[in-house]
């Protein structure tokens, strides 16, 4: 321990678990930053010391897989750098399958692994028996085998990271508790502790399960829930190899790892137990260093029974120790990283859902980079703290959803599965009406949104399966309705912001890649880029008047986009931004008959001459002044009608009445997905992310490089436009219409992998599966390179022939996307 506590530091890291130590290490090693790390107890005394130490790498996000792969690379070489062992053993990992759905899941996972550059094999029960002879394999269909996974000693890695951090100049102070912050507005100026105060520029909150209460000291919401997690450590088991692979047996809900000749065995139960501390606000006690709960064999029995069935030798083996410790879990099973939108200088790294040891090395790397540069170094959207919203301040909601996510940790991951807890959360004024139309809802950022509408002879609920699901035909009907007639989508969950002020136009021109400060009444489809030219946001900007802009973006990116725009507004300028999401309902009236319907409910002239594409008008519908935006994501004539919330029901009723002769019906989000796939519209978060620039994404036309206006990412865009592109987004169809595309399928060009699908689904008008993905080539992806290839997609480990498309798949005469 170093003394005394310094009075200032550039960065204060709170928490001496694996995440805090890794972040401090990378801040100092990679950026030479002046860092103080504060730990209220001793290093590792939170969740880290009692982790089981399994280290897996494959996740469904390419970036997170990259983060976990980095952890393994780091753990391999940390001993050389620091002289401290990490206990890293590359034992490989077996995942067992006992049924057909699980086996399909693994076949898809093996393809994902290949797409992400990881080795993963599917092995037979006989092979499993050979690799792990103590196991009963009689019920196995097979297993997946990841040879580069392994295990490590959580405390040893953390101590090695701490030593490495010190070697690079980090000052680590144990026994120092952070008790609050001095704030200047939303900026932390000083960190208060039980031993004095430290002035600093930036705080990184790596306080584990305490991160929620530490965040709250600065007004920051960190939606995590401590949950009890148990495992046992057995006596030695004769015949167990010291290098036995780690084992996950999800159908039995359990995992194993070899440890000093015995086994560590734990599991994920469907009935998890939250830790209710009894303290005000559910706070975690300050003095929980090296704390554990009492052994709970009643609750653990379910795992023990399954474990004995899998490894019969356990029946004869004594239990040396039970560990029952708390770990932070989150509502979607992903960790929480990045800059909190509520506070100008607090970054967070917490909520590691029992893979903090696997993630620790890489999470520290990316969090350090993010902290220093103010931008994530790669697409970290799935873990970004800005994926949450105000809803996540509701502790009861967070707890319910988190327990559901924990309970599903080992269940088969069916495509299109929705969470059930905490619903209905936020409903649009049309909720009851749409239910009357037999809507089947999904939930996005708390909003109930109609996914599809069940015909009378189909039960209005999703029936999960690995193949085509029960909604397939119904969504096809909705799709056709919009392509050929007219449908109406309730998209009230869209996030909506207003920017006002005499400097709003100039501020938005600097933030957006496209020209948005057009004449009042114009609207523009634009991206917002980071300094690398990566796509941070994808939105529509309508100029209502000289000093008022109306911005519409995706439901899920609400907090992120609002924070990004707010953070990049120039100081001292006359511009204010307001989130008006709940003020406006949104009805998207789409289809070739939409003009006939709209003209029947308004006196406004909605002819093409009076109301062309890419324009916005305030028109009166059913006694309400509606902001009508002529724009589309489905590729047909249509309008987004933004209605003052209270009028949404009345306007919907008017549209439905006027549309009756044209067969109007409500349609859902699954139809939107199918329609947009055919038209080649990109989806943010999958097809376009901070890893991709607009030129790679085929959106170079929406970048104002021909103007002299400076905008964030301009230099990177100029460089991208001048050099050969190393990857380009392309569309694919498979010739076999029965193939199920979900995204992450490997793209083969002339038999070699060149990328993977970022999204996939089915186009009902073309009658084929459709996917999008980046084709990569280090020497550049020219038109000729694309055209000369012969393509296949690897779908659930099988290659199927595919065709590449660089133009929309359906109907070039439909509504344009350009505005
Ligand atoms: C039973 C169990 C088994 C697990 N098994 C695995 C596994 O096999 N593989 C895996 O990858 N992960 C596993 N985990 C998860 C892993 O332990 C965690 O994800 C990881 O340790 C989290 O690290 P952390 O640094 O975020 O939190 P912590 O280790 O809890 O560190 C946070 C630190 O912040 C300090 N702190 C809090 N508040 C303050 C304050 N106000 N001032 C100063 N300091 C403060 C705390 O004292 C604590 O030391 C397991 C967890 C449990 C419970």
The atom number, within ligand 1, closest to the CA of 289 reads: 47
- Beta bridge partner(s), residue 123: 143
Q: Determine the distance separating the centroid of ligand 1 and the alpha carbon of 350, expressed in angstroms.
A: 9
- Contact yes or no for 369/377 (Cβ under 8 A): yes
d(CA 537, CA 719): 20
Residue 93, both tokens: 């990992």
Question: Which single residue is written with the structure tokens 């989806």?
Answer: 683
SS3 state of residue 344: coil
End-to-end CA distance of the chain: 61
Residue 308 CA, chain-centre distance (Å), reads 36
H or E, element range at 552: strand 548-553
Nearest CA to ligand 1 atom 22: 356
- CA of 402 relative to ligand 1 center, distance in Å: 17
- State the distance from the centre of ligand 1 to the C-alpha of 327, rounded, in angstroms: 7
Tokens of 89: 């053993």
Instruction: Give residues (CB < 6 A) around ligand 1.
Output: 14-20, 38-41, 45-48, 50-54, 177-178, 206-210, 214, 229, 231, 323, 325, 327, 350, 352, 354-358
Peptide bond into 424 cis (omega under 30): yes
The tens digit of pLDDT for each residue in 406-446 reads 999 999 999 999 999 999 999 999 999 999 999 999 999 99
State the Cα–Cα distance between residues 422 and 430, nearest whole angstrom.
19
Query: What is the rounded distance in angstroms from the CA atom of residue 176 to the CA atom of residue 40?
Result: 4
Q: Which of 40, 39, 45 is nearest to 172 (CA)?
A: 39
| Number of the ligand 1 atom closest to the C-alpha atom of 358 | 11
Cβ atoms of 239 and 250 within 8 Å: the answer is no
Residue located nearest, by CA, to atom 10 of ligand 1: 355
Tell me what pLDDT residue 817 has. 44
H or E element, residue 448: strand 447-453
Q: Which two tokens stand for residue 803?
A: 């065709």
Atom of ligand 1 nearest to the CA of 286: 38
List for the chain the helix, strand, coil content (%; round to 5). 30, 30, 40
The predicted-structure confidence for 625-673, as pLDDT tens digits, reads as follows: 999 999 999 999 999 999 999 999 999 999 999 999 999 999 999 999 9
Q: How far is the CA of 304 from the centre of ligand 1 (A)?
A: 25
Contacts of 520 (CB under 8 A, 6+ apart): 543, 544, 545, 546
For residue 256, list its beta bridge partners: 247, 265
CA distance linking residue 392 with residue 336, whole number of Å: 13
What pLDDT, on the 0 to 100 scale, is given for residue 819? 33
Q: Which atom of ligand 1 is nearest to the CA of 356?
A: 19
Q: Per-residue b/e over 337-368, b at no fewer than 16 CB within 10 Å?
A: bbbbbbbbbbbbbbbbbbbbbbbbbbbbbbbb
Measured on CA atoms in the order 404, 405, 408, 412, is the torsion positive or negative? positive
**The ligand 1 atom nearest the CA atom of 179:** 41
Ligand 1 atom closest to Cα of 323? 1
Rounded distance from Cα 470 to ligand 1 centre (Å): 42
Identify which of 206, 210, 334, 363 to mutate to test ligand 1's pocket (most ligand atoms within 8 A of the CB): 210
Residue 440 DSSP SS3: strand
Q: pLDDT (tens digit, 9 = 90+) per residue, 47-104?
A: 999 999 999 999 989 999 999 999 999 999 999 999 999 999 999 999 999 999 999 9
Say how many Å lie between the CA of residue 154 and the centre of ligand 1: 10
Residue ranges of E strands in 185-261 = 187-193, 196-205, 225-234, 246-249, 254-259
Residues with pLDDT less than 70, the chain: 1-3, 811-819
Whole-number Å distance, alpha carbon 644 to ligand 1 midpoint, is 46
What atom of ligand 1 comes closest to residue 357's alpha carbon?
11
- Phi, psi dihedrals of residue 610, rounded to the nearest 5°: -80, -25
Residue 818 pLDDT: 37
Report whether 227 contacts 311 (CB < 8 A): no
Q: How far is the CA of 55 from the centre of ligand 1 (A)?
A: 15
Q: Ligand 1: distance of its center to the CA of 150 in Å?
A: 19
Q: What letter would DSSP give residue 818?
A: -
Q: Looking at residue 1, what is its pLDDT?
A: 46
- Any idea how long the chain is? 819
Residue whose token pair is 């031993």: 195
DSSP state letters, 251-271: GGTEEEEEETTEEEEEE--SS
Q: Tell me the three state secondary structure of residue 490.
A: strand
CA distance 203 to 37: 10
Task: Retrieve residue 74's tokens.
Answer: 């780091």
> Hey, whose CA ends up nearest to atom 37 of ligand 1?
207
């Amino acid at each position: 321990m170093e003394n005394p506590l310094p009075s200032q530091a550039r960065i204060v890291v709170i928490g001496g678990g694996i995440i805090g130590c890794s972040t401090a290490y990378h801040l100092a090693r990679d950026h030479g930053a002046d860092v103080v790390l504060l730990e209220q107890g001793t290093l590792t005394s939170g969740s880290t010391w009692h982790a089981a130490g399994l280290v897996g790498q494959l996740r469904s996000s390419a970036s997170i897989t990259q983060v976990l792969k980095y952890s393994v690379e780091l753990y391999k070489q940390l001993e050389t750098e620091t002289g401290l062992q990490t206990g890293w053993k590359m034992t490989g990992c077996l995942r067992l399958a006992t049924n057909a759905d699980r086996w399909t899941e693994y076949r898809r996972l093996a393809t994902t692994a290949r797409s992400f550059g990881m080795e993963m094999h599917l092995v037979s029960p006989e092979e499993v028996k050979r690799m792990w002879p103590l196991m009963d394999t009689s019920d196995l269909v097979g297993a997946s085998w990841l040879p580069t996974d392994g295990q490590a000693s959580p405390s040893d890695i953390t101590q090695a990271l701490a030593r490495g951090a010190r070697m690079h100049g980090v000052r680590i102070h144990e026994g120092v508790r952070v008790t609050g912050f001095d704030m200047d507005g939303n900026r932390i100026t000083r960190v208060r502790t039980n031993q004095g105060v430290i002035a600093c520029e930036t705080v990184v909150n790596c306080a584990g399960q305490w991160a929620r209460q530490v965040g709250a000291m600065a007004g920051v919401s960190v939606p995590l829930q401590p949950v009890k997690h148990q495992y046992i450590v057995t006596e030695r088991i004769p015949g167990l190899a010291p290098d036995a692979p780690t084992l996950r047996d999800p159908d039995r809900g359990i995992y194993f790892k070899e440890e000093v000749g015995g086994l560590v065995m734990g599991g994920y139960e469907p009935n998890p137990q939250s830790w209710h501390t009894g303290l005000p606000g559910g706070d975690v006690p300050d003095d929980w260093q090296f704390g554990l709960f009492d052994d709970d064999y009643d609750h653990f029995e379910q795992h023990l029974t399954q474990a004995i069935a899998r490894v019969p030798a356990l029946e004869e083996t004594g239990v040396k120790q039970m560990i029952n410790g708390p770990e932070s879990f989150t509502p979607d099973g992903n960790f929480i990283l990045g800059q909190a939108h509520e506070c100008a200088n607090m970054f967070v790294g917490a909520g590691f859902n029992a893979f903090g040891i696997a993630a620790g090395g890489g999470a520290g790397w990316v969090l350090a980079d993010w902290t220093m540069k103010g931008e994530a170094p790669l697409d970290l959207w799935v873990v970004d703290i800005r994926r949450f919203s105000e809803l996540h301040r509701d502790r009861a909601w967070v707890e319910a959803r988190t327990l559901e996510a924990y309970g599903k940790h080992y269940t088969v991951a069916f495509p299109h599965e929705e969470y059930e807890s905490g619903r209905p959360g936020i409903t649009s004024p049309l909720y009851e009406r749409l239910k009357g139309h037999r809507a089947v809802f999904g939930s996005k950022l708390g909003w109930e949104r109609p996914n599809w509408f069940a015909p009378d002879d189909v039960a209005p609920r999703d029936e999960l399966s690995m193949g085509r699901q029960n909604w397939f035909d119904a969504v096809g009907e909705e799709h056709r309705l919009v392509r050929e007639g007219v449908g109406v989508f309730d998209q009230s969950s869209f996030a909506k912001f207003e920017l006002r002020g005499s400097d709003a136009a100039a501020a938005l021109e600097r933030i957006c890649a496209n020209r948005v400060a057009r004449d009042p009444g114009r609207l523009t489809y634009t991206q917002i880029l980071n300094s690398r030219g990566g796509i941070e946001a994808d939105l529509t900007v309508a100029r209502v008047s000289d000093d008022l802009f109306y911005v519409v973006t995706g439901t899920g990116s609400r907090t992120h986009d609002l924070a990004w725009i707010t953070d990049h507004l120039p100081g001292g300028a006359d511009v204010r931004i307001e989130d008006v999401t709940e003020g406006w309902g949104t009805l998207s009236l789409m289809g070739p008959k939409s003009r006939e319907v709209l003209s029947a409910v308004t006196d406004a002239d909605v002819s093409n001459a009076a109301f062309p594409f890419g324009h916005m008008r305030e028109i009166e519908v059913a006694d309400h002044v509606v902001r009508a935006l002529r724009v589309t994501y489905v590729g047909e004539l249509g309008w987004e009608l933004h209605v003052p919330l209270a009028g949404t029901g009345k306007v919907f009723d008017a549209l439905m009445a006027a549309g009756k002769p044209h067969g109007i019906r409500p349609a859902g989000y699954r139809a939107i997905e199918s329609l947009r796939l055919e038209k080649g519209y990109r989806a943010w978060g999958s097809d376009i992310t901070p890893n991709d620039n607009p030129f790679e994404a085929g959106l170079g036309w929406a970048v104002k490089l021909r103007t002299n206006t400076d905008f964030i990412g301009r230099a990177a865009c100029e460089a991208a436009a001048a050099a050969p592109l190393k990857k380009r987004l392309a569309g694919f169809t498979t010739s076999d219409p029965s193939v199920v595309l979900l995204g992450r399928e490997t793209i083969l060009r002339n038999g070699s992998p060149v990328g993977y699908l970022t999204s996939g689904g089915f186009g009902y008008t073309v009658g084929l599966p459709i996917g999008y993905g980046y084709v990569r080539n280090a020497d550049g992806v020219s038109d000729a390179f694309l055209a000369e290839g012969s393509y296949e997609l690897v779908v659930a480990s099988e290659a199927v022939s595919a065709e590449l498309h660089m133009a929309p798949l359906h109907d070039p005469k439909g509504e344009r996307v350009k505005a």
